[in-house]
Amino acid sequence: MSPGGRFLLTHARIVAHGNSLQDAEILVEGERIAGVGKPGELHVPTDAIVVDVRKHLVLPGLIDPHVHLRDSGVPHAEERQKEDFVSGTKAAVAGGVTTVLDMPNTLPPTTSLAAFKTKRDHAAKTSFCDFGLYAGAAQDNLAAVPAMIRAGAVACKMYVGSSTGNLLVAESTLEETFFKSAAENDYVLAIHAEDQACLEKHAAFYDDKKAPRHNEVRPPECAELAVARAISFARTYRTKTYVCHSSTAAEAGLIRAAKAEGLPVFMEVAPHHLFFDQSEHDVQHNRVRMNPPLRSRADVKALWTALNDGTADTIGTDHAPHTLEQKRKPYWEAPSGVPGLETVLPLLVTAALGEKTTLERVQQLCCQNPARIFGLQGKGRLEAGCDADLVFVDLDVEKAVGESTLFTRCGWSPYAGMRLRGWPLKTYLRGRLVFDRGQPFGHFGKMVSPLQTNTA
Ligand code: DOR
Ligand code: ZN
Ligand code: ZN
């Protein structure tokens, strides 16, 4: 497919309800979907080229609302060993992800309009998929955030507990000021919700132990405290509040109640918190060290419940590559974060086929909901007028996660060896083939932003 042409996808199967699929044909004209219908139902122009999908599942390209591609646009040798826009977005399209929203904790961080523009211009030249950029909240940049939003940032990310990088808003009066400003300037405030004072208290207690469980050093109560405070500010100012990587039963309970109250509070869940519990540390050690940490089995169960009952809104991979060399360091020196772009879809499809959730829910969490929450018009749906971002998914073949075929530069996966179904066969970005037969094609990515309107 090349943009400008007309294509009819025949013998496609699309998600109907639950896990049931329906036969469909999809007409693509240029960069957009022109129609979706039952076989034979669409009016097809005679010059349309037919592409036989061979009964594979077709989903809208995934939107990953939470990635760390490590690339500020200013070359940084150490970060380049982990990822950049090229390797990270190759991983994205190989994983069926056609839009990534990139976090601001790069070097330098995305905390000024100049830094934002540098990253934007660099990503526009190198990205294999569409991308949105977060502005970062810092101690001294309250006024710079609306400027970045006006330049097209998708949202502002605020760390209320420290993690990779040095972005931190630990002081609750400044935190509150960001909630107020976000409401006034109508931007989404995405929170890394682990309370800094709570983290410091526990770290001080454990730092004489050789290798404590990460979940003890950064316990659930720190996350609960931060989410409870965020919700109270959301109640005061009606701020659109996006809780990143919610990992505990307590957070799910608080967010469920906030939604019932009618507050605009959104819940993201990361795959690692769904597919591992804290006992995985005994097997993979620092490889599964991330912030927030892997939690108890009861927490994992509560996340699946939240995912299925509509409390959780999105799946964000928190794709956060680090080198294995760094991961082999002792606990207190090893960095936090795991890659996830290439495994999110097979993990969730396999879970749906095993009836832990449904394909309908996966499509909502990974496509529709992120587009709605971040205001990305024309994304995340298989409907006439939407961007022709498509992924063909193989439901039949089961394959183990391999590390040698990954595109992420860090070259490893916490899911290595896991047997999964639901691997992407082909990925299209606005009508262009960007992944086929194991090979990504690029650099067609454009910036997405809530400022853009879909003119279709
Ligand atoms: O595990 C994490 N890794 N959590 C974060 O908050 C940051 C991320 C990273 O950038 O490495
Ligand atoms: Zn985070
Ligand atoms: Zn993150």
What are the structural domain ranges in the chain? 6-59+383-440, 61-373
The structure tokens 């809530």 sit at 450
> Which numbered atom of ligand 1 lies nearest the CA of 289?
1
Select from 123, 103, 139, 85 the least CA-distant residue to 337.
103
Decide: 291 in ligand 1 pocket, CB within 6 A.
yes
φ, ψ dihedrals at 428, nearest 5°: -115, 135
Q: Does the domain spanning 6-59+383-440 belong to CATH 2.30.40.10?
A: yes
Decide: 339 in ligand 1 pocket, CB within 6 A.
no
Q: How far is the CA of 431 from the centre of ligand 3 (A)?
A: 30
Longest Cα–Cα distance of the chain, Å, equals: 73
Specify whether 318 is catalytic.
yes
Decide: 369 in ligand 1 pocket, CB within 6 A.
no
User: What is the rounded CA–CA span in Å between residue 245 and residue 265?
Assistant: 13
Q: How far is the CA of 157 from the centre of ligand 3 (A)?
A: 9
Q: How far is the CA of 91 from the centre of ligand 2 (A)?
A: 20
Decide: 68 in ligand 1 pocket, CB within 6 A.
yes
Specify the pLDDT at position 4. Answer: 60
Give the CATH fold of the 61-373 domain: TIM Barrel (3.20.20)
| Measured distance between the N- and C-terminal CA atoms of the chain, rounded to whole angstroms | 20
Write out residues in the chain with pLDDT < 50, as ranges.
Answer: 1, 456
pLDDT tens-digit series, residues 263-278 = 999 999 999 999 999 9
Decide: 377 in ligand 1 pocket, CB within 6 A.
no
Nearest-CA residue for ligand 1 atom 3 is 337
Specify the pLDDT at position 1. Answer: 47
Whole-structure pTM over 0.85, yes or no?
A: yes
Specify the pLDDT at position 206. Answer: 84
Specify the pLDDT at position 456. Answer: 46
Number of CB atoms found within 10 A of residue 313's CB: 26
Specify the pLDDT at position 398. Answer: 97
Decide: 380 in ligand 1 pocket, CB within 6 A.
no
Mutate which of 76, 291, 327, 338 for ligand 1? The one with the most ligand atoms within 8 Å of its CB, which is 291
Decide: 192 in ligand 1 pocket, CB within 6 A.
yes
pLDDT tens-digit series, residues 180-234 = 999 999 999 999 999 999 999 999 888 777 667 899 999 999 999 999 999 999 9
CA dihedral 349, 354, 360, 363 (to 10 degrees): -20
Degrees to nearest 5, angle at CA 372 with 369 and 373:
85
Q: How far is the CA of 314 from the centre of ligand 1 (A)?
A: 18
Name residues whose C-beta falls within 8 Å of residue 359's C-beta, 6 or more positions apart in sequence. Answer: 15, 18, 19, 21, 57, 349, 352
User: What is the rounded CA–CA span in Å between residue 66 and residue 437?
Assistant: 26
> Which numbered atom of ligand 1 lies nearest the CA of 163?
6
- Classify residue 99 by its DSSP letter: E
Mutate which of 69, 318, 319, 322 for ligand 1? The one with the most ligand atoms within 8 Å of its CB, which is 318
Specify the pLDDT at position 64. Answer: 99
Nearest-CA residue for ligand 1 atom 7 is 164
Decide: 163 in ligand 1 pocket, CB within 6 A.
yes
Specify the pLDDT at position 407. Answer: 98
Query: Identical fold at 6-59+383-440 and 61-373?
Result: no
Name residues whose C-beta falls within 8 Å of residue 397's C-beta, 6 or more positions apart in sequence. Answer: 421, 423
What protein residues have CB closer than 5 angstroms to ion ligand 2? Answer: 192, 244
Q: How far is the CA of 192 from the centre of ligand 3 (A)?
A: 7
Decide: 337 in ligand 1 pocket, CB within 6 A.
yes
> Which numbered atom of ligand 1 lies nearest the CA of 192?
6
User: Strand ranges (DSSP E) for 16-129?
Assistant: 21-29, 32-37, 49-52, 57-60, 62-67, 97-102
Q: How far is the CA of 160 from the centre of ligand 2 (A)?
A: 9
CB-based burial label for 202 (10 Å; 0-12, 13-18, 19+): middle
Active-site choice (195, 277, 318, 387): 318
Q: How far is the CA of 275 from the centre of ligand 3 (A)?
A: 17
Decide: 290 in ligand 1 pocket, CB within 6 A.
yes
